[in-house]
Structures are given as C-alpha cells and as structure tokens.
Structure 1
Amino acid sequence: PEITQQIFLEKGIPHTSSKLVVVALRNAAEEMQRCLRELHLAETNIDFGYTLLSHPGGRTLVALHVEDQEFAQSVLHNAG
C-alpha cells in the first residue's frame, strides 16, 4: 500500500485509503448471513462491502468496511 500511495502522490492522483476486514466464505449465502448477523448482534456498523476475485481454495472473499475494524475482526473470529 505504501508504494501505491507514493505513486499516486507523485502522479497527483487523488486517493484515500482505508482498512478493511476480509472474510473467506465456503458457503457464501449461508455464511454471509451468519457474518452479518454476528456483526449486527455486536452492534457494529458496516459502511459498505464488496466481493473480491475468487480465492484459489474456492472460497468467496468479501471485503467489509466497518466502523471498528479490530472489534469486527474479534467478533467474527470468536464466532468461528
């Protein structure tokens, strides 16, 4: 990220950066519902989310921008 940011600065390209939580899902529909439910129960906000390119292991990768990255990671890790 630092090299990319440096290139953007050198080229005068406006940009922002943010930390994301990336979740790897085996069964996307079922596990995404569980993921969202756990974050909802923990009362944390999701600003936005989007899918990433396919994972070599066949998992669906979802990037989430959340209100508190460390808290969301902890919630999801503890939920399994």
Structure 2
Amino acid sequence: MNKLSLTSMKIEEIHENSFLGLGSLRILDLSHNNLTFVPDDASQWLGSINEINLSFNKFYNSTKMGMMVSQFAQLR
C-alpha cells in the first residue's frame, strides 16, 4: 500500500505504532480530523512518507511541528 486516506475519521492523536509495517506508504491523508499536534518523534516513524495532508485539523501554532513536517516533499 502506498497511499492511505484517514480523512474525516475524528482522529485526535497519532500513536507511534499507528503505521507500523507500512514501509511502502508514500502518501498519507489525515485531513479533516481533530489532531492538535504531531508527536516530536513522528519524523522517525513516518520516514517513508513524502506527501502528507494535515489540513482542516485543530493544530496549535507550533515551531517544532513546522520543522518536523518541512521534511515532506509535499505538505498540505
């Protein structure tokens, strides 16, 4: 699987093991959920992803998150 859409699932947080075993995952859509932050170590376990859609969540202004997600080729 190289694309996973979890849009509008009312997800509030992402756990470290959420994407375990999905090493071929390249595109992740987490839009329209209730996420307020992305864990600091997310770049380690989201390493294979080059496009992530986090739009329409409830993020707070976070410099850490901005630095973490800047590694992705495409960010929405």
- How high is the TM-score relative to the length of structure 2? 0.25
Q: Which has the higher helix share?
A: 1
- How high is the TM-score relative to the length of structure 1? 0.24
